[in-house]
Amino acid sequence: MTQTFDCTDETARSSGISAAVSAVRGGRLVVLPTDTVYGVGADAFDPAAVAALLAAKGRGRDMPVPVLVGSWQTIDGLAFVVPDAARELISAFWPGALSIVVAQAPSLLWDLGEGNGTVMVRMPLHPVAIELLREVGPLAVSSANISGQPPAVTADDARHQLGDLVEIYLDAGPSAQQTASTIVDLTKATPRILREGPVTTREIADVLGVDADTLQG
């Protein structure tokens, strides 16, 4: 049975987090608020749950699911090597609206889609998301919308699109940024911006000490 919890109320938030933890551990889907847009999440290490997430969105395996984490240190267990550039960007922009793509650790027993040995990781700047992530560990999370439709910026937006395919909706009001995160690919020698969002190319270039033009595809 689908349930929605008002996370602006302390008691409901506590109940909602507990329900979401139970749902994730049971292989079911949850919708959670982040600082950018609402996300639909599943246990990153449960292939069936990740497959259900992709099916709910109508999204193919050619678009692998990103991973949200609840602490800076988690990246060390997910990446094969954490480049210096990644540590600099994490220090500057996490938690926040920056996703980084790195080569994943070969020992990871997960199936997020056809990532060709890479994984996209972000630590969101949202207390409800962080609380959930610290309870359950890394979550496979994609924007809470049907593929090709506008991203959900409220829990109602997400429920309108995903309905009963999701067990728990954590409603914390409208997303702050209301736009998807910036994505930086760090799998090659030269960092490259795949999508510009709230964190700008100039801000990234300043942190890395490079010319902004070198970051463009």
Q: How confident is the model at residue 109 (pLDDT cuts 50, 70, 90)?
A: confident
Per-residue model confidence (pLDDT) at position 1? 85
The whole-number pLDDT of residue 196 equals 96
**Whole-number percent of the chain with pLDDT over 70:** 100
**pLDDT tens digit sequence for 60-93:** 998 999 999 999 999 999 999 999 999 999 999 9
pLDDT value for 115: 86
Question: In the predicted model, what is the mean pLDDT of the chain?
Answer: 96
Beta-sheet pairing, 67-68 with 139-143: antiparallel
Give yes or no for a contact between 128 and 73, defined as CB atoms under 8 angstroms apart: no
Question: Whose CA is closest to 170, among 9, 52, 42, 4?
Answer: 4
Whether 3 has a pLDDT exceeding 80, the answer reads yes
pLDDT tens, 7-50? 999 999 999 999 999 999 999 999 999 999 999 999 999 999 99
Stretch 160-175: mean pLDDT? 98
**Cβ–Cβ < 8 Å for 181, 194:** no
Distance CA 215, CA 77 (A): 26
User: Taking residues 178-201, what's their average pLDDT?
Assistant: 96
Instruction: Flag whether pLDDT at 217 surpasses 80.
Output: no
Encoded tokens for 185: 């690919």
Q: Strand, coil or helix: what is 121? A: strand
Residue 101, sorted as left (phi over 0), alpha (psi -120 to 50) or beta, turns out to be: beta
Residue ranges covered by each domain of the chain? 3-211
Write down the pTM of the prediction.
0.96
The hierarchical CATH code for the domain 3-211 is 3.90.870.10
Task: Look at residue 137 and tell me whether its pLDDT is greater than 70.
Answer: yes
